[in-house]
Structure 1
Amino acid sequence: MQFLLFLLVYPLLLSISILPFRILYLLSDLVYFIVYHIFGYRKKVVRENLALALPHLSDAERLSIERKSYKYLCDMFLEMIKTLTISKSEMAKRFVFTNLDEYLKLEKEGKSIALLCAHYASYEWAVSMNSKITVKGYGIYKKINNKYFDKLVRKIRSKFEADLIPINKTAEIIAHNHANGIQSLYGFVSDQSPQLRTFNYWHTFMGIEVPVYVGAEMLSKKYDMNVIFLKVNKVKRGFYKADLEVLSTNVKDVPDFQIMDIFLDKVEELILQAPEFYLWTHKRWKHRGKKPTA
């Protein structure tokens, strides 16, 4: 059944991926109309998230952000499909790293590097960074249940010299690379909500206390990695610029959880600057009010 689904869907994805960008975005406008106006995909979740995170705005302002966010969500989805066939040169024009030299200086220190990202703007196209660096690049991801689509996603990323690590294999692979002296770059998308456990670290994000993924920080400290933040901004439709900001080059001296605090504060700054480019369809604040009392 999985293979049959793949056979049915893959030709459609491939056909979409070869469309010129001008046609691709016309298709995105149509998809937006269907997703937002006809099906109302996760509209209740988005409205609740916007009301929680942006209470200082009026209903009309939040409605405007809601519509813009759905338009961008459709753009991003089709841009992800475009990655199937986009050339490295075209990607380099559309996703520009403004200060890659600063990053390359960190590589010369010999340490591995943890790259913290958010579900903001074109975080999927950040994979193109792997074709510009000199160390081995990995992306931490949630494995797709359909093994054929999972293999396809891995193949797409390999075009930009990136390997994907399933979340449950992250610690094992980082430990192996460290033990064998393999300097690497690890990309963590760390702004979504973790499962509630006996212990969670909590941080105030967009004015609400939420549990936080701390794996990136803990692994960085364990293996003495430098930590950087990928700040992505949309320039215009289909074009982005990315700044690489150093969060720490001496993580073992940083108090526990401070790196994640700084990371989430930077994500919050991006959201307040242009909230329509955040992924509001995820239930980021679903655990609010569940923090255990001492």
Structure 2
Amino acid sequence: MQLLIFIILYPILWLISMLPFRVLYFFSDCTYILIYRIIGYRKKTVRENLLIALPHLSQEERRLIEKKFFHHFVDGFFEMIKTMNISDKELYARFKFTNLGVYQNMEKQGKSIAILCAHYSSYEWLVSMNKHISFKGFGIYKKLKNKYFDKLIRDIRSRFDADLIDTKETINVIVSNERKGIKGVYGFAMDQSPKASKAFHWAEFFGIKVPVHTGGEMIAKRMNMNVIFVKGKKIKRGYYEATFVEMVDNPKEVPNYEITDMFLRMVEAQILEAPEYYLWTHKRWKYAEKSEEKTEIPM
């Protein structure tokens, strides 16, 4: 069944990826009407999340953000498909880095780097940074259930010299790389919600205590990595930029969970600047009333 689904959908995805952007966005606008106005995909979840995070805004203001979000959300889906066949030149023109010197200075220290980011702006196109780095780039992700689409995602990333590491394999791969002397840049998107039973830390996110991912911090501490935050920004439709923000270069000396808490404050600030570009379809606060913090950070 997995192969059949892949055989049916792959040609469609490939054809979409070959479309010029002006045609791509025409289909995106049509899909927006279907997803938002007809199907109402996760509209209730988005509204609940916006109310939790932005209670100071009026209902009319939140509805405007909601509509802008769904436009951006559907654009992001088509842009992700476009990555299958986008040229290096076009991607690098559409996704720029404002201060590569911050990252390059950390590379000079000779330690691997943990990059923390949120599901904000065009996080999928962060893969383009591999043009600008000397270290090997890795993205931490959750393996897709369909092994054929999973391979497709890996193949797309490999076009830009990036490897994907399944969350279950992360620590083993990183330890192995360090033993072999392979310096890596590891991308962690840590803003989504882990299972409450597996959370080692609970922290406030927009004033509400929730379980949070701590893997980026824990691995950075264990391997003594430099830690950078990537702040995304949407310039206009189809064009983005990213800014590196140095967090810590001595993670072992930072109290447990302080890096994670610092990351969450940066994500909040980023969202408040332009909330329509955050991934509001995820149920970020679903475990808000089940706080149970573990006392030790796993190493």
Task: Specify the TM-score bucket, using the shorter chain as the normaliser.
Answer: over 0.9
Residues 279 and 199 of structure 1: CA distance in aligned 2, closer, same or farther (over 3 Å): closer
Match of 1:85 in 2: 85
Tell me whether 199-208 or 54-63 shows the greater mean CA deviation: 199-208
Deviation readout 1:62-87 (Å, 9 max, x if unpaired): 11111110000000000000000011
Equivalent position SS for 1:209: strand
Deviation readout 1:8-39 (Å, 9 max, x if unpaired): 10111111111111111111100000000110
Match of 2:297 in 1: none
Query: Displacement of 1:199 after TM fit?
Result: 5.4
Quote the Cα distance in structure 1 between the aligned partners of 2:195 and 2:148.
27
Query: Displacement of 1:189 after TM fit?
Result: 0.5
| 1:238 aligns to 2:238 (yes or no) | yes
Pairing 1:260-275 to 2, within 5 Å after superposition: 260-275=260-275
Deviation readout 1:231-261 (Å, 9 max, x if unpaired): 0100000001100111001111111111111
Equivalent position SS for 2:197: coil
Match of 1:143 in 2: 143
Query: Displacement of 1:288 after TM fit?
Result: 0.6
Pairing 1:73-222 to 2, within 5 Å after superposition: 73-197=73-197, 200-222=200-222
Deviation readout 1:203-241 (Å, 9 max, x if unpaired): 111111111101110110100000000101000000011
Are the equivalent residues in 1 in contact too, given 2:45–2:282 (CA < 8 A)? yes
Equivalent position SS for 2:133: coil
Equivalent position SS for 2:186: strand
Query: Displacement of 1:51 after TM fit?
Result: 1.0
* TM-score (norm. length: structure 1): 0.98
Structure 2 residue identity aligned to 1:84:
M
Query: Displacement of 1:293 after TM fit?
Result: 8.3
Are the equivalent residues in 1 in contact too, given 2:140–2:167 (CA < 8 A)? yes
Equivalent position SS for 1:23: helix
Quote the Cα distance in structure 1 between the aligned partners of 2:148 and 2:81.
15
Quote the Cα distance in structure 2 between the aligned partners of 1:240 and 1:254.
32
* TM-score (norm. length: structure 2): 0.96
Quote the Cα distance in structure 2 between the aligned partners of 1:85 and 1:44.
34
Match of 1:69 in 2: 69
Query: Displacement of 1:269 after TM fit?
Result: 0.5
Structure 2 residue identity aligned to 1:150:
D
Query: Displacement of 1:131 after TM fit?
Result: 2.4
Quote the Cα distance in structure 1 between the aligned partners of 2:80 and 2:174.
27
Quote the Cα distance in structure 2 between the aligned partners of 1:25 and 1:198.
40
Quote the Cα distance in structure 1 between the aligned partners of 2:199 and 2:80.
35
Quote the Cα distance in structure 2 between the aligned partners of 1:214 and 1:109.
24
Equivalent position SS for 2:32: helix
Structure 2 residue identity aligned to 1:50:
L
Residues 2 and 198 of structure 1: CA distance in aligned 2, closer, same or farther (over 3 Å): closer
Q: Which runs of 5+ in 2 are unaligned?
A: 295-299
Residues 200 and 110 of structure 1: CA distance in aligned 2, closer, same or farther (over 3 Å): same
Are the equivalent residues in 1 in contact too, given 2:117–2:187 (CA < 8 A)? yes
Q: Which runs of 5+ in 1 are unaligned?
A: none
Quote the Cα distance in structure 2 between the aligned partners of 1:171 and 1:154.
19
Deviation readout 1:118-155 (Å, 9 max, x if unpaired): 00000000011122211111000010111110000000
